[in-house]
Amino acid sequence: MSYLSDVSKKLGLIIILSVTSPAIAHNIQVKGDVAGLWHVEPNHSPKAGETARAWVALTRKGGKLLPKSQVNCQMAVYSKPRKPNDLPILQPVVQAINAEKYKDIPGADIIFPNTGLYQLELSCTPTTEGDFRAFTMQYDVTVATGEKVSTPSTKASSQQTKQIDPQKVASSEYNSTQVLNTLPVMIGLGVIGTAVWLIKKR
């Protein structure tokens, strides 16, 4: 009976979150006494080099929202595929945010360095001991191509481009013009030479 009641409680949490947010019900996780609804802005499609916001609406048994003020959370970002001993590539600061209809929920701003697959991990403990069991939730996200962050090498190359000598540019343009002007003459001589050779061969 205890197993069935536990399952029914978890199903109740999922149903409540599904009714409130049917479009993103597939991002719901249940860990112990708490269910979490994951969302990554914008529209679950973050881009490399651009700021994305990840948040989790946490809900207690019965559907009551678990605010950030009652929970201590840390977030870690891992590259995938992830190995057991891998360290996080990012550890964004989790803050209380308002998102959609949810208020005072844990969220963090993340700038993914590259395109590819990542895993977000949220680990939480109660601010009041014994309020609920500590839990860890994970969510996989695919990062698409975004704005490229300028690197020192690209800055240096752009500065070098600005320092090009106009006289050298003019002379190179002159040289290329000379080649273009002599090209038809060379082609013509080649055609004449080929014609003469064919006549002699006959």
Q: Of residues 61 and 171, which shows the higher confidence score?
A: 61
Range with the lowest mean pLDDT among 84-98, 120-134, 171-185? 171-185
Residue 119 in this model has a pLDDT that exceeds 70? yes
Of 123, 143, 163, which residue is a domain's last? 143
Quick one: 185 and 117 in the same domain? no
Quick one: 24 and 44 in the same domain? yes
Quick one: 139 and 160 in the same domain? no
Domain CATH for 137: 2.60.40.3340
pTM of full prediction above 0.85: no
Quick one: 95 and 125 in the same domain? yes
The pair of three-digit structure tokens given for residue 111, joined into one six-digit string:
């700038």
Domains in the chain, number: 2
When pLDDT is cut at 50, 70 and 90, the band that residue 118 belongs to is very high
The pair of three-digit structure tokens given for residue 171, joined into one six-digit string:
């002379």
Of 95, 116, 143, which residue is a domain's last? 143
The pair of three-digit structure tokens given for residue 166, joined into one six-digit string:
């106009």
**Region 96-105 average pLDDT:** 95
Q: What is the pLDDT of residues 4-45, one digit of tens each?
A: 445 444 444 444 444 434 344 358 999 988 999 999 999 899
Q: Is 49 within 8 Å of 149 (Cβ atoms)? A: yes
Of 99, 116, 143, which residue is a domain's last? 143
Quick one: 46 and 125 in the same domain? yes
Q: Of residues 165 and 87, which shows the higher confidence score?
A: 87
Quick one: 137 and 161 in the same domain? no
Per-residue DSSP letter, 61? T
Quick one: pLDDT at residue 62?
Answer: 87
Quick one: 69 and 123 in the same domain? yes
Quick one: 106 and 13 in the same domain? yes
Q: Whole domain around residue 128: which residue ranges?
A: 2-143
Q: Of residues 71 and 17, which shows the higher confidence score?
A: 71
When pLDDT is cut at 50, 70 and 90, the band that residue 146 belongs to is confident
Q: Which residues, listed in sequence order, are joined to residue 118 by a DSSP beta bridge?
A: 79, 141
- Select from 64, 60, 66, 56 the least CA-distant residue to 92: 56
Distance of CA 174 to the CA centre of its chain: 47
Quick one: 72 and 38 in the same domain? yes
Quick one: 117 and 187 in the same domain? no
Quick one: 27 and 114 in the same domain? yes
**Region 45-59 average pLDDT:** 96
Quick one: 82 and 166 in the same domain? no
Q: Is 92 within 8 Å of 51 (Cβ atoms)? A: no
In the predicted model, what is the mean pLDDT of the chain?
Answer: 75
Residue 183 in this model has a pLDDT that exceeds 80? no
**Region 141-162 average pLDDT:** 56
